[in-house]
């Protein structure tokens, strides 16, 4: 919790800075004759008029290296193109490259474990007769196939791939998504579709946060009481974990498991209280925040346990890295235990940070023994650690840079916390290597990338898709594409298309909203509620945490849980108002559309209130229905006055801004997405007796 709030603060600053930056940046030039919706944008793209048609005779060949993983990746892509186009395409790679429409040339096999040094680059050359995809590795080829799928377009004549030449290589080699499966359990099928989404935007690390105060989520055969008492029965079997690892590998994604230690470990201690620094018994923690329970780093039995446990996990997770967490140990139990205090004195450990460093050093030996590199959050970085330890920074770029200056590799997560409910633009503006860095060229190479983080205090399996997608695609582009890419409007334009592609993979980030609105209102006739929902989004994470006091057992079934953060309607309304303000006097399409929307808001109120009347869960948001109508009236008035070319009566503006201020206040954990552009609209109205 504390980490979340600190992050929120850091992030609020970052967002402000970066929005300013992005507004100042020049727009990307769009390529003529080609509707570019690629996300992430490739390093180099050139195009010419022409197209490769998708027809029933479309054939595919692998003409160099080929294995089951490559075959499966090609088959998946062809099935998707098939579903998109309605044209059945044979999925069995043939052998005659000369007559094939898609030739996939991969140099050769890579290691059985995908490393951070994997060559992920590819090139794709599409002519009007064929497409040629070249890559050094299968992973590179998979990225090329993802690009190929994104290239598919249609017009009245059919489905086709435009003629392009692409040379593409990622800017950063660690592009991750962390999912906290500790605070709320996420089922295997949800993780699988998430991995499909990741692959489609070229993310390459699934960081699986598997243990928390609120739940221990993976079966240990050596220590079965971890899940028997620490999981509420909600955990992954080893079989399922292997299934996820294999599924990820098939999509060019590494799986880095995290076992957060020595803090955030309440759930471990329910079954194994002897691991703890205070006497038990322990309970699964239901509240969210930072808690006292912490492993006892002074007893050899702790390391014996961890040796066995890490050995067991190392056999399930082949990745070279294992994440040990290491964050938010408040030291309370260490200070309160005389035996531990004695140990610190004997070993000349001056404070709890020094004791945690001792713990990390011991842990490091165990990881090495089992063939793993260590990665952990900022707190683990102490000068004594060897240089192959890697840091994941929730504290921000300065902390990351300090590590790099001391010779440590690192990745950035501050600025990429999806649970904060920030707009995609804010995440997009955060760069692991910002322009203003004072790092040397060599130090810069130590910044390996970043990870979007999905913490699960306020999210469950039902709404996780809309909390991750499509915003994670904006982070994916930031980590893959050029730093110079900063056209936020173009990002949003492509993000809207990518969102539909993600939906085609089975993700429910769009559909879940209506499902939840139907469940909340008990009817399929939800049109009025959809009007309200279209201008609302969840409040920021910290605001909800402050207002709701939820714990792990609180049902997540309110209006706020139905709403996606940063919906396309938010950005589109902003564009509409600004388009209107270009010519407020003329009768433009923008004016008609805007007036239509305002009338819809005004007319929606009775229907919304009717749907809320019998639904106590929805009723909490009743004031929002009335405010929506008021906002519609403010909008209509503003447009009416602006169109007339006459000034408003004195006091008009102040009264209308007060309506907006009122709508800004917290209510039912949801906020309006339209207030800023509405404010712009009201402020654009000239007032009698005053300046504009």
> Taking a C-beta distance cutoff of 8 angstroms, is the pair 256, 289 a contact?
no
Minimum CB separation of residue 284 from its own copies in Å reads: 13
Report how far residue 255's alpha carbon sits from residue 207's, in angstroms, rounded to the nearest whole number.
Answer: 6
Minimum CB separation of residue 354 from its own copies in Å reads: 42
For residues 20 and 515, which CB has a smaller minimum distance to its own copies in the complex? Answer: 515
For residues 26 and 555, which CB has a smaller minimum distance to its own copies in the complex? Answer: 555
Report how far residue 64's alpha carbon sits from residue 77's, in angstroms, rounded to the nearest whole number.
Answer: 19
What is the per-residue burial (b if ≥16 Cβ within 10 Å, else e) of 618-650? bebbbebbebbbbbbbbbbbbbebbbeeebbee
For residues 50 and 158, which CB has a smaller minimum distance to its own copies in the complex? Answer: 158
**328 labelled catalytic:** yes
**DSSP secondary structure of 630-651:** HHHHHHHHHHHHHHHTSPBPTT
For residues 383 and 555, which CB has a smaller minimum distance to its own copies in the complex? Answer: 555
Report how far residue 181's alpha carbon sits from residue 217's, in angstroms, rounded to the nearest whole number.
Answer: 7
Q: Which residues bind its own copies (CB under 8 A)?
A: 82-88, 154-159, 189, 239, 496-497, 499-500, 503-504, 508, 510-512, 514-515, 518-519, 522-524, 553-555, 557-558, 568, 613-617, 619
Minimum CB separation of residue 530 from its own copies in Å reads: 10
Torsion over CA: 431, 432, 438, 442 (sign):
negative
Minimum CB separation of residue 74 from its own copies in Å reads: 14
For residues 385 and 618, which CB has a smaller minimum distance to its own copies in the complex? Answer: 618
For residues 107 and 514, which CB has a smaller minimum distance to its own copies in the complex? Answer: 514
> Taking a C-beta distance cutoff of 8 angstroms, is the pair 511, 530 a contact?
no
Which of 131, 155, 207, 182 lies closest to 33, judged by CA?
155
Residue 319: partners with Cβ closer than 8 Å, 6 or more residues away:
113, 114, 254, 255, 256, 257
What is the per-residue burial (b if ≥16 Cβ within 10 Å, else e) of 47-83? beebbbbbeeebbbbbbebbeebbbebbbbbbebbbe
Minimum CB separation of residue 43 from its own copies in Å reads: 26
Residue that is written with structure tokens 């108002």 in the block = 577
Q: Which of 118, 149, 212, 328 is catalytic?
A: 328
Report how far residue 424's alpha carbon sits from residue 260's, in angstroms, rounded to the nearest whole number.
Answer: 28
Minimum CB separation of residue 271 from its own copies in Å reads: 17
Strand-pair category, 321-325 with 373-377: parallel
For residues 43 and 523, which CB has a smaller minimum distance to its own copies in the complex? Answer: 523
Minimum CB separation of residue 633 from its own copies in Å reads: 24
Residue 646: partners with Cβ closer than 8 Å, 6 or more residues away:
none
Tokens read off for 520:
């909340």
DSSP, res 564: P
- Give the residue numbers annotated as catalytic, written as ranges: 328
């Amino acid at each position: 919790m504390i980490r979340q709030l600190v992050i929120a603060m850091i992030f609020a600053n970052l967002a402000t800075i970066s929005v300013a930056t992005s507004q100042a940046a020049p727009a990307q030039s769009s390529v003529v004759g080609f509707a570019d919706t690629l996300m992430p944008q490739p390093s180099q793209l050139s195009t010419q008029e022409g197209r490769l048609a998708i027809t029933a005779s479309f054939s595919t060949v692998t003409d160099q290296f080929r294995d089951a993983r490559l075959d499966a990746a090609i088959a998946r892509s062809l099935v998707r193109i098939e579903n998109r186009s309605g044209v059945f395409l044979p999925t069995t790679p043939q052998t005659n490259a000369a007559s094939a429409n898609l030739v996939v040339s991969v140099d050769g096999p890579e290691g059985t474990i995908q490393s951070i040094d994997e060559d992920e680059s590819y090139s794709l050359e599409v002519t009007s007769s064929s497409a040629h995809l070249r890559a050094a590795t299968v992973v590179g080829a998979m990225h090329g196939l993802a690009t190929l799928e994104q290239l598919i377009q249609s017009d009245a004549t059919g489905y086709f791939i435009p003629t392009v030449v692409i040379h593409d290589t990622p800017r950063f080699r660690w592009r991750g998504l962390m999912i906290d499966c500790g605070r709320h359990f996420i089922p295997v099928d949800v993780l699988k579709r998430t991995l499909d989404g990741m692959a489609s935007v070229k993310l390459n690390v699934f960081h699986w946060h598997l243990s928390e105060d609120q739940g221990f989520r993976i079966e240990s055969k050596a220590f079965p009481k971890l899940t028997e008492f620490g999981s509420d029965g909600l955990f992954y079997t080893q079989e399922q974990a292997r299934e996820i690892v294999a599924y990820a590998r098939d999509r060019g994604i590494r799986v880095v498991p995290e076992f957060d230690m020595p803090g955030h470990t309440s759930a471990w201690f329910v079954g194994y209280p002897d691991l703890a620094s205070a006497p038990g018994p322990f309970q699964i923690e239901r509240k969210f925040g930072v808690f006292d329970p912490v492993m006892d780093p002074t007893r050899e039995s702790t390391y014996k346990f961890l040796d066995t446990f890490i050995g067991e996990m190392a056999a399930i997770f082949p990745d070279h890295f294992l994440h040990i967490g290491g964050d938010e140990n408040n030291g309370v139990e260490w200070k309160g235990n005389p035996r531990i205090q004695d140990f610190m004195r004997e070993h000349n450990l001056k404070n709890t940070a020094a004791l945690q460093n001792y713990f990390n050093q011991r842990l490091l030996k165990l990881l090495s023994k089992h063939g793993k590199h260590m990665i952990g959050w900022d707190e683990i970085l102490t000068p004594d650690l060897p240089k192959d330890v890697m840091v994941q920074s929730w504290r921000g770029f300065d902390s990351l840079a300090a590590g790099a200056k001391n010779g440590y590799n690192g990745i950035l997560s501050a600025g990429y916390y999806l649970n904060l409910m920030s707009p995609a633009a804010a995440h997009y503006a955060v760069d692991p290597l910002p322009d203003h860095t004072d790092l040397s060229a060599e130090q810069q190479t130590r910044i390996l990338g970043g990870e979007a983080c999905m913490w699960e205090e306020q999210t469950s399996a039902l709404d996780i898709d809309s909390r991750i997608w499509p915003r994670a695609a904006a982070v994916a582009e930031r980590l893959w594409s050029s730093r110079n890419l900063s056209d936020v409007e173009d990002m949003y334009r492509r993000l809207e298309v990518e969102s539909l592609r993600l939906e085609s993979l089975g993700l429910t980030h769009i559909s879940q909203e209506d499902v939840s609105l139907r469940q909340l209102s008990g009817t399929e006739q939800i049109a009025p509620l959809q009007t309200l929902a279209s201008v609302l989004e969840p409040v920021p994470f910290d605001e909800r945490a402050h207002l709701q006091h939820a714990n792990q057992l609180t049902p997540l079934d309110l209006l706020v849980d139905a709403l996606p953060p940063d919906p396309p309607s938010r950005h589109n309304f902003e564009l509409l108002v600004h388009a209107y303000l270009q010519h407020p006097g003329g009768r433009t399409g923008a004016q008609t559309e805007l007036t239509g929307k305002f009338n819809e808001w005004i007319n929606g109120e009775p229907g919304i209130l009717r749907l809320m009347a019998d639904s106590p869960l929805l009723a909490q948001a009743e004031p929002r229905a009335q405010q929506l109508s008021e906002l519609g009236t403010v909008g209509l008035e503003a447009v009416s006055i602006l169109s007339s070319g006459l000034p408003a009566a004195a006091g008009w503006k102040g009264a209308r801004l007060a309506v907006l201020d009122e709508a800004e206040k917290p209510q039912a954990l949801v906020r309006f997405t339209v207030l800023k552009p509405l404010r712009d609209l009201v402020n654009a109205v000239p007032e009698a007796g005053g300046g504009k």
